[in-house]
Amino acid sequence: MDSIVGAMGLAYYLTLKTKQLWTPVINCAAQDLKLKTEIYCHLIEDCGLNPSDMFFWDELLKSDRPIEEIALIDHNVLAEEQVELLGNEAHSKVTYVYDHHVDTKFYPQQQLKDY
């Protein structure tokens, strides 16, 4: 749940900060959200969020949207499967990392922007 709420909050913050539209991407397939019962029950049923208002990982892959920058939240390196699907240049597009886990320092500090 922290990943979903964090993605929404971070996209809003970066949109205000950079004056460019950032789209929060939920890091699972749309159909898999219901399988995450604790998240689904709280965010969808209790809070009234609508999954059709969310943009999911599988939808990103099907879209023609160009990916100019990537901000990671709740993890600090793209999964290899994500890099395979997004292309080898995906790592070079990561410009923000917000995470409470131990930082693997995968991305060089000069690549990351100040927040």
Look at residue 115 and tell me whether its pLDDT is greater than 80.
no
Look at residue 114 and tell me whether its pLDDT is greater than 90.
no
pLDDT tens column, 86-101: 998 999 999 999 998 8
Q: Which domains does the chain have, with CATH numbers?
A: 2-111 (3.90.1640.10)
- 113 DSSP 8-state letter: P
What's the pLDDT score for residue 102?
A: 87
Q: In sequence order, which residues have a C-beta less than 8 Å from that of residue 38 and are 6 or more positions away?
A: 1
Are 101 and 75 in contact, with CB atoms under 8 Å apart? yes
Supply the pTM of this predicted model.
0.84
Q: How does DSSP assign 37-80, residue by residue? A: HHHIIIIIIIS---GGGSEEHHHHHHS------EEEES-SS--H
pLDDT tens column, 37-53: 888 888 888 988 888 89
CA 38 from centre of chain:
19
The SS3 call for residue 2 is: helix
What's the pLDDT score for residue 64?
A: 84
